[in-house]
Amino acid sequence: MTRRQLALFAGLDDAHKAAVRHVYESSFPLALRAPWEEITAGRPDELLLVLEDGESPELPPVGLALVRHLGTTSMSFLRYFVIDAERRGGGHGSALWSALVGHLRQFERSMLLLDVEDPDGRAEDSPERRDDLRRIEFYRRHGVHMLAVREYAPPDHGQDGEEPRLLLMGASLTHESTDSHKLGPAPTGSALREAVTAVYRDRYGLEADDPAVRATLRASGL
C-alpha cells in the first residue's frame, strides 16, 4: 500500500515548492486562480497543505489543499484542492481528502465549506461542464452536500475579471459515526445562515448588509 502523508508547504525545499506551483497554475483557469504570491503569503488564517508520497519522498508532492479558517467561527473554507493531473487515478485525491478532514478535526473545526463552478452555466457537451460534474461528484462521494443556497454570487476572485457562476457545498465535521472520515449532515436553518454569512465575510470580504449577501439570504429563505 502506498504511504502518503500531509505536510506544510512552508517546510518544502525550493524544488518541491516549484513543483507544487506548477500543479496549482496548470490546474485552474485564471478566472478561478489567485496569484501564487497570495496563496503562499502565509496568512495566519490560512493553511497550505501538500500530500507527499511517503514511499518516494524525493518525488514532488502529488497535490495541495488551501484552507482558510473563517474569522472567529470554527468553520473552515476550502479555497483550493487539486491533484497533479499526471498522477490522478491512484487514490491520491481520496488520500488528500481524508488527511485534510482528519487534520481539521484534530483542531476541532466544526464545518468545511467550499464552492464549485455551476455546470448548468456551461454548454451541454463542453469539457468544462464534464470537469465541473466530475468535481462535484468527487465531493459528494466523500460526504460533502450541495447546500440549499440560491443566488450565491461571490465577487470576482480570479485574475481575468470573469465572475464564474458558483454553487456552495459543505458538511459538518462533527460526527457520531465509528467511521472517522464520515462527514455529518448539511447545515440548515440558522447554521446555514451563519455559514453563508461567514463565507461572504471572511472569504470574500462582504459584510452582512452587502446587497449580494442580502440577496443570497433572501433567495435562500434565510
Question: Which tens digit of pLDDT belongs to each residue from 52-92?
Answer: 876 666 778 889 999 999 999 999 999 999 998 887 777 88
- What pLDDT is attached to residue 178? 47
Overall number of domains in the chain = 1
End-to-end CA distance of the chain: 46
Rounded to the nearest 10 degrees, the angle between the axes of helix 211-219 and helix 189-198 is 160
pLDDT digits (tens, 9 = 90+) for 188-212: 999 999 999 999 999 999 999 999 9
- What pLDDT is attached to residue 32? 80
* Residue 175 CB neighbour total at 10 angstroms: 17
Quote the domain boundaries for residue 72: 4-219
Query: How many Å apart are CA 199 and CA 114, to the nearest integer?
Result: 9
Please name the residues in contact with 73: beta carbons below 8 A apart, sequence gap of 6 or more.
110, 194, 198, 202
97: cell is: 481528502
Q: Which domain CATH number covers 114?
A: 3.40.630.30
* Residue 189 CB neighbour total at 10 angstroms: 10
Helix (H, G, I), strand (E, B) or coil at 44: coil
Q: Supply angle C-alpha 90, 95, 99, rounded to 5.
A: 165
Residues of the chain with confidence (pLDDT) below 70? 1-3, 54-57, 156-163, 175-181
Query: How many Å apart are CA 109 and CA 103, to the nearest integer?
Result: 9
pTM: 0.91
Please name the residues in contact with 56: beta carbons below 8 A apart, sequence gap of 6 or more.
none
Under a CB-based contact definition with an 8 Å cutoff, are residues 57 and 48 in contact? no
Sheet of 145-146: strands edge to edge? 4-8, 46-53, 63-69, 75-83, 111-117, 166-172, 145-146
Query: How many Å apart are CA 210 and CA 196, to the nearest integer?
Result: 13
